[in-house]
Amino acid sequence: MTDSLDLGEPPQPAMAQPYRVLARKYRPQTFAELIGQDAMVTTLANAIRRGRLAHAFLLTGVRGVGKTSTARLIAKALNCIGPDGEGGPTIDPCGVCEPCRAIAEGRHIDVIEMDAASHTGVDDVREIIDASRYSAVSARYKIYIVDEVHMLSKNAFNALLKTLEEPPEHVKFLFATTEVNKVPVTVLSRCQRFDLRRIPTDKLGAHFAWVAEQEGIEAEPEALALIARAAEGSARDGLSILDQAIAHAGMEGGGVSAEAVRQMLGLSDRGAMRELMGLVLAADAPGALAALRRQYDYGVDPQSVLRALLETVHGVTLVKLGTPPDPAQPAEERSGYEEWASKLSFPALHRLWQLLLKGHDEVARASLPIEAAEMALLRVIHASSLPDPGELARRVTSGEGPSSTAPAPGPSSMSTSTSAPAVAPLPEAPAGPPTDFAGVIALLDGDGQIALAEKLKISARLIRYDPPDIVLSAAKPLPADLVADLAAGLQRATGQRWKVTTDDAAGAPSVREAEAKEKADTLDWVKSTTVVKAALDAFPDAEVTAWETNRRS
């Protein structure tokens, strides 16, 4: 009888590894991989090198900038023992020793992570306090990482205060939060605070390009720029969008294209937005409405169109101020902004911003968004053909009639290419200072400084107006900083320095006081007329609340 052969266990099929999303797969494992937070890394490196480690750290910032990742990196940096087991705290943890690997895998017994959103009560904090009295089991420090710490209750914060102020030598607290304003001041004062900044768009784009290369995915630079811009400074948000774009590219076949990202996110074509802005500035109402409808038919939300126009006005204003160019901005877009900046005045840009912002808010609340967007564009186009209020005030005070106002321009024959189109410039600010104080108020109102103009109407009692000198009455209290705000506002609107002072003299009535006195005088006159006087005598309880009169002063 032959011996049976033991062939062992039959071969088992390899277990498929579950897919890890890019945001988890490319979580920073060293401080060198943490992008956009150089100042914080430098501070931590110096503290570790000099042995000046705080007992509690508070990491704050918007979502996806690396708060939890940084907390884990700090835990690794403090507990790393090096490949030979003899190392100390370092800003460059080795990643191969047992503490580094255990912390990275989330299984280290002395590094305790707690989600404050689901452990909000005082009992949860009491467990931390009781456990903190005992030394670390195998690590150099026992570290508590509390995510979304602002979610703790008031009693939980109070229970933590004493331990947080004087913890045992072997304990470190690492707090992370997106809403630092909700953390009590008593807790903030006991922590070393690090504000993690939004990651710049160009660094996000470079990071996404590296990730795409690691994944073996071809991606257009413009597509990565769109994703970086949509991420709004958050690496996690951007990687999630990139993950979605790669999946979309897999369905369509090929790499990640800008057009696919634009359709996926419902973004407007920036070239189309420059074309639309040119049509608006050229007062081409039919062309502007047709361009808006084209974007709407492509699936772009009307509110997104208004937002893109607001971004365009903001970009032109920054160019006019001479700010350094954005590295992520296409050269064609920069060229278009420079052309518009050379033709539009600051008052015109401020007015465009206010009109578009009002339209954006209206579209957000409207039951008919596309119709509301069309009406908002028509209002901007109509306003672009009107003279500046300061110019109107100058004409009125100089005796010019309304007939001198230039008629509204008709539709232009502007090219529909995506390059910066020719612009019909909005009226410039008046060349000289206003001839009277009423013109000053009108100038500020037209420059977008509506709040300041309203304060002047209510409180300013003029003693002397001799441009560029203005003397206001201080006989009655003036709003705080009104004098300084008026000088700064006039300098911005006219481009020259103004001297605004006060005096104890009474001064002329304010605009509101003059209007109230005129209204009271008119009411007295109305009551004194024969018909009204007879009616009031017949009905003693009657009041005159409104009237129409052709009375001439």
Residues 128, 243, single domain; the answer is: no
Residues 281, 386, single domain; the answer is: yes
Residues 388, 488, single domain; the answer is: no
Q: Is residue 418 part of a domain?
A: no
The phi, psi pair for 225, rounded to 5°, reads -65, -40
CATH code of the domain in which 314 resides: 1.20.272.10
Residues 166, 90, single domain; the answer is: yes
Long-range contacts of 370-379 (CB under 8 A, 24+ apart): 370/292, 370/293, 370/296, 370/302, 372/302, 373/292, 373/296, 373/302, 373/303, 373/305, 373/306, 374/289, 374/292, 376/306, 377/280, 377/285, 377/288, 377/289, 377/292, 378/285, 378/289, 379/355
**Residue 210 to residue 228: CA distance in whole angstroms:** 13
Residues 179, 132, single domain; the answer is: yes
The phi, psi pair for 471, rounded to 5°, reads -120, 120
How many domains in the chain? Answer: 5
**Residue 232 to residue 160: CA distance in whole angstroms:** 34
Q: Is residue 117 part of a domain?
A: yes
Question: Do you find a cis peptide bond into 468, omega within 30 degrees of 0?
Answer: yes
Q: What pLDDT shows up at residue 423?
A: 44
Q: Is residue 419 part of a domain?
A: no
Domain stop point among 265, 282, 310 = 265
Closest CA to 281 of 412, 394, 180, 388: 412
Write the CA distances from 281 to 4, 126, 303, 387, 412, integer angstroms. Answer: 92, 64, 19, 14, 10
CATH code of the domain in which 67 resides: 3.40.50.300
Q: What pLDDT shows up at residue 410?
A: 39
Domain stop point among 381, 404, 427 = 404
Q: What pLDDT shows up at residue 481?
A: 78
Cβ count near 99 (within 10 Å): 25
Residues 109, 170, single domain; the answer is: yes
Domain stop point among 352, 384, 404 = 404
Which residue shows structure tokens 């008709």?
410
Residues 256, 288, single domain; the answer is: no
Q: Is residue 129 part of a domain?
A: yes
Q: Is residue 277 part of a domain?
A: yes
Q: What pLDDT shows up at residue 143?
A: 92
Largest CA distance in the chain: 140
Residues 385, 513, single domain; the answer is: no
Q: Is residue 416 part of a domain?
A: no
What DSSP string runs through 51-93? T---SEEEEE-STTSSHHHHHHHHHHHHH---TTS-----SS-
**Residue 99 to residue 135: CA distance in whole angstroms:** 16
CATH code of the domain in which 258 resides: 1.10.8.60
Residues 494, 523, single domain; the answer is: no
**Residue 372 to residue 85: CA distance in whole angstroms:** 68
Residues 181, 50, single domain; the answer is: yes
Q: Which domain holds residue 483?
A: 437-508
Q: Is residue 453 part of a domain?
A: yes
CB neighbour list of residue 147: distance below 8 Å, 6 or more residues apart:
67, 68, 71, 113, 114, 115, 116, 117, 176
Residues 534, 457, single domain; the answer is: no
Query: Along the chain (553 residues), what's the average pLDDT of each consecutive run of 10 residues?
Result: 55 65 86 86 87 89 88 90 86 89 88 88 89 87 91 90 88 91 90 88 88 87 84 87 82 71 70 85 88 84 89 90 75 82 86 90 90 91 67 61 44 37 45 80 83 84 87 81 84 84 85 84 81 76 71 48
Residues 40, 102, single domain; the answer is: yes
Q: Is residue 148 part of a domain?
A: yes
